[in-house]
Amino acid sequence: MSQPEIITPKVRRLIDFPLKVGESPTWDDRTGDLWLVDILAPAAICLRADGRVERFEMPFKIGCLALCESGDIAVALENGVHLLNPKTGTMKLLCDPDGGRPDSRLNDGKVGPDGCFWIGTRDEAVPQTGNARLYRVMPDGSFTTVVDGGLLTSNGLAWSPDGRTMYHSDSSGLFAQVFDFDPQKGVTGPPRRLHDFTPAEGRPDGAAMDADGFYWIAGVLSGGVNRLSPEGEVVEIYKMPAKSPTMPCFGGPDLATIYVTTLFTDNNGTFEHGTLFAFEAGIRGTPVHRFKI
C-alpha cells in the first residue's frame, strides 16, 4: 500500500471565540449558514451568511445537530433528540432513543438518504465497556437500534454519493467500517471493516463525503484530516494548524470549501482552544440530507 500524500492547505480561522469541543459542522445550502456545536459548552452555534453569529445555549451536552426540511434544527442532547426553532430559540422533545442509560450519551449523528436521523452514542464508562449503540430515528419520533453493543464511541457517519453505502467509525476502537444501505430501508446487512487507523492518522472522529466517493475523516491528536478511497486506503492527509481536528464538512456555494472543527487540546504544554477552520482543496462535496420533518 502506497504512503498517503501529506498536504498542508492554506487554512483560515473563521471564529474569534474559543470552543471546548467543536463538532458537527453543517452547511445549509438554502441559506448559506454554517451550523456547529460545542459539546461541552454546551451550545449550538450558527454562523449566518450575513456575518452574524447566533448562539443557542443547551441544557445538556449536545452531541450533534442536523437540518430539518421544516427549517428547524434537530439537536441530539444527553436527554434526547429535540427540535430547535432557530427563529424563536424554543425547543421541543422529539424522542429519547437512549432512554437515560447509565454511562452513555448521544454523540455523532447525521441524516441519511432515507431522511432519518442516524445517531450513535459514546460509552462514558471508565474504562469503556463497549455499550455504545447506533440508532435510526424516524421523522415521527419512533426509532430502532441498528447496532447494540460492541462499540465504544460511535462516530464518522457519512454516505456514498449514490446513497448505497453508509460509512461509520469507532473513535475509541480506532477503525472505520461500511454498511450496505438502501435509501428506503436503511442498513441492509452487517458491517465490513474499512480501515484500522494508525497513530499517524489519529483517532477517527467526524466525517464527510466528497463528490468522488472519498471519505474524509478527522484524525484527533494527529493534526490531520484523512481522505480515504472507497477501498479504505488513506490517499491524502490534510494537515491542520491544530492538533485535534474533530470533523470536516463541505460547504460554500459550490460545496468546494472544507470546514473543520477542533477541540481544546494540550499540545505539548501549549493549550489550544477549539476553533473552526476553512480551506479549499479543489474538491467538491456532496449535499447533506435533511431530516424529513
| DSSP structure class, residue 289 | P
Q: Which three cell numbers stand for residue 55?
A: 448562539
pLDDT at 10: 98
Q: Note whether 226 and 233 are within 8 A (CB).
A: no
Question: Is 163 domain-assigned?
Answer: yes
Asked if 175 and 197 touch (Cβ cutoff 8 Å), the reply is yes
DSSP code of 192?
E
- Give domain status of residue 154, yes or no: yes
Q: How far is CA 169 from the centre of its chain?
A: 10
Looking at every residue in the chain, the average pLDDT score rounds to: 96
* Total domains present in the chain: 1
| Average pLDDT, integer, range 265-285 | 90
- Active-site residue, selected from the candidate residues 28, 72, 114, 205: 205
- Tell me the pLDDT tens digit for each residue of 207-239: 999 999 999 999 999 999 999 999 999 999 999
45 pairs with which residues across the strands? Answer: 36, 55
CATH of the domain at 162: 2.120.10.30
189 part of a folded domain? yes
SS3 content of the chain, % helix, strand, coil (to 5): 0, 55, 45
Residue 148 in any domain: the answer is yes
Per-residue model confidence (pLDDT) at position 1? 63
CB 180 within 8 A of CB 165: yes
**Residue 179, pLDDT score:** 98
- According to DSSP, the β-strands at 186-187 and 192-196 are unpaired
Taking phi first (over 0 means left), then psi (-120 to 50 degrees means alpha), and beta for anything else, what does residue 235 get?
A: alpha
Residue whose cell numbers read 476502537: 173
Is 162 noted as a catalytic residue in this protein? Answer: no
What was the pLDDT predicted at 269? 75
List beta partners, residue 133.
Answer: 148
Question: Is residue 288 domain-resident?
Answer: no
State mean pLDDT over 272-288. Answer: 96
Determine the residue type at 122: R
Is residue 133 in a domain?
yes
Distance CA 133, CA 29 (A): 30
- The residue-averaged pLDDT of 172-188 equals 96
69-108 residue pLDDT tens: 999 999 999 999 999 999 999 999 999 999 999 999 999 9
Residue 77 DSSP label: E
pLDDT of residue 271: 84
Query: Residue 266 above 90 pLDDT?
Result: no
| Per-position DSSP letters for 209-270, written without gaps between them | EBTTSPEEEEEETTTEEEEE-TTS-EEEEEE-SSS-EEEEEEESTTS-EEEEEEB-EEETTE
- Rounded Cα gap, residues 188 and 192, in angstroms: 12
Residues 99-147 have pLDDT tens digits of 999 999 999 999 999 999 999 999 999 999 999 999 999 999 999 999 9
158 in any annotated domain = yes
What's the pLDDT at 90?
A: 97
Structural domain for 123, as ranges: 5-280
Q: What digits encode the pLDDT tens for the residues 2-42?
A: 899 999 999 999 999 999 999 999 999 999 999 999 999 99
> For the chain, how many residues are written?
293
Residue 285 lies in a domain: no
Helices within 224-268 (DSSP H only): none
> Cα 261 to the chain's mean position, in Å?
10
- The SS3 of residue 44 is strand
Q: What is the pLDDT of residue 244?
A: 96
Q: How far is CA 240 from the centre of its chain?
A: 17
